[in-house]
Amino acid sequence: MSDYLKMFSTFAHEFAAGVIIVAAALLLSRVLRRLIDKLHESRHLAPIMARRLQTFRRWTILLVTVLILMQALGVFGNAWALISAGLAAVAVGFVAAWSILSNATAALLVLTFRPFRVGDMVELLEPNGAAIGGRVVDMNLMYTTLSVQSAEAEQPVAPQLLHVPNNLFFQRVLRTRSSHERGSKVTFFSQPDR
């Protein structure tokens, strides 16, 4: 009889731990979802960025919750070794793809500090005095697209597009002429109202 009692006690502890883990994951997910929704409603996040963050939030919390549950329930004893190995593989991959990581990090910093937005005129000043610039028409994690109107053309021609790697905005002096009021809550990725 004591074997059944011991087995029931172990099951009860594992079940209680599983319920607590799932409840904590649901609470964290709900808090993060509301935070992302508030940022979207206050126009600090574009709709597409909000959807991407919601998807990332959902999958990350699901994966971490499953791994923690497996560890707590004793399904496999080396869950954290698996996580560590996965993180090490990701780190090695990031080192191998330094340029991609550098540009993505720079894009997140531009998004956070907002030195410019879509519609602004920007100029990157080179150390030799030359300048690369144009009107910002798009931005993604790899590069910012600038529209450059050629002043040398005799007839009006379509503007050229320059794709400037995002990390250059932190390696060069940047001059901006904004079409937005200072402190404006205009969505970062949207075209200004004209």
The 10s digit of each residue's pLDDT in 32-75 is 999 989 888 887 778 888 888 899 999 999 988 988 888 777 77
Quick one: tokens of 74? Answer: 């004793």
User: Are residues 67 and 147 both part of a single domain?
Assistant: no
Examine residue 91 and state whether it is found in any structural domain, yes or no: no
Strand order in the sheet with 131-139: 160-165, 143-148, 131-139, 121-125, 173-177
User: Are residues 65 and 108 both part of a single domain?
Assistant: no
Domain count, the chain: 2
Burial class (CB in 10 A: 0-12, 13-18, 19+), 32: middle
Examine residue 89 and state whether it is found in any structural domain, yes or no: no
> Taken in order 66, 68, 72, 74, is the CA torsion positive or negative?
positive
Q: What pTM was computed for the model?
A: 0.45
User: Are residues 105 and 68 both part of a single domain?
Assistant: no
User: Are residues 103 and 31 both part of a single domain?
Assistant: no
The beta strands (E) that lie in the chain are given as: 121-125, 131-139, 143-148, 160-165, 173-177
Mean pLDDT of 105-118: 85
pLDDT at 109: 87
User: Are residues 30 and 115 both part of a single domain?
Assistant: no
User: Are residues 28 and 116 both part of a single domain?
Assistant: no
Residues found in the chain? 194
Quote the domain boundaries for residue 37.
Answer: 2-80
Examine residue 104 and state whether it is found in any structural domain, yes or no: yes
Q: Given 80, 106, 129, which residue is the final one in a domain?
A: 80
Mean pLDDT of 111-116: 84
Residue 129 gets the label, from left (phi > 0), alpha (psi -120 to 50) or beta, of left
